[in-house]
Chains A and B, each alone.
Chain A
Amino acid sequence: RKEVEQDPGPFNVPEGATVAFNCTYSNSASQSFFWYRQDCRKEPKLLMSVYSSGNEDGRFTAQLNRASQYISLLIRDSKLSDSATYLCVVNSGTSYDKVIFGPGTSLSVIP
Chain B
Amino acid sequence: EAGVAQSPRYKIIEKRQSVAFWCNPISGHATLYWYQQILGQGPKLLIQFQNNGVVDDSQLPKDRFSAERLKGVDSTLKIQPAKLEDSAVYLCASSWSYGANVLTFGAGSRLTVL
**In the complex, chain B residues whose CB is within 8 Å of the CB of A14:** none
Closest A residue, CB atoms, query B44: A101
Within 8 A of A (CB), among B42-86: 42-45, 48, 50, 55-56
Tell which of A4, A46, A99 touches B33, judged by Cβ atoms closer than 8 Å: A99
Of A54-62, A64-72, A74-82, A90-98, the one touching chain B:
A90-98
Tell which of A31, A32, A43, A104 touches B91, judged by Cβ atoms closer than 8 Å: A43
**In the complex, chain B residues whose CB is within 8 Å of the CB of A104:** 41-42
A1-25 contact mask (Cβ, 8 Å, vs B): 1 or 0: 0001000000000000000000000
Tell which of A34, A43, A91, A103 touches B105, judged by Cβ atoms closer than 8 Å: A43
Tell which of B41, B45, B91, B98 touches A103, judged by Cβ atoms closer than 8 Å: B41
**In the complex, chain A residues whose CB is within 8 Å of the CB of B98:** 96-97
Report Cα–Cα, A25/B57, bound state, in Å.
Answer: 21
Report Cα–Cα, A52/B91, bound state, in Å.
Answer: 29
The verdict on B106 contacting chain A, using a C-beta distance below 8 Å, is yes
Interface of B, helix, strand, loop or mixed by DSSP: loop
* A interface residues, how many (CB within 8 angstroms): 22
Q: Are B42 and A103 in contact (CB under 8 A)?
A: yes
The verdict on A73 contacting chain B, using a C-beta distance below 8 Å, is no
Name the residue among B42, B44, B105, B106 with the largest chain A CB count within 10 angstroms.
B42
The verdict on B100 contacting chain A, using a C-beta distance below 8 Å, is yes
The verdict on B88 contacting chain A, using a C-beta distance below 8 Å, is no
Report Cα–Cα, A42/B9, bound state, in Å.
Answer: 12
The verdict on B114 contacting chain A, using a C-beta distance below 8 Å, is no
- Other than the given A4-B42, A44-B43, A46-B102, 14 more pairs (CB < 8 A) read A32-B100, A43-B108, A45-B105, A49-B102, A96-B56, A97-B98, A97-B101, A98-B48, A98-B56, A99-B45, A99-B48, A101-B35, A103-B41, A104-B41
A-B residue pairs in contact (CB < 8 Å), sample of 7:
A4-B42, A49-B100, A87-B42, A87-B43, A98-B55, A98-B56, A99-B45
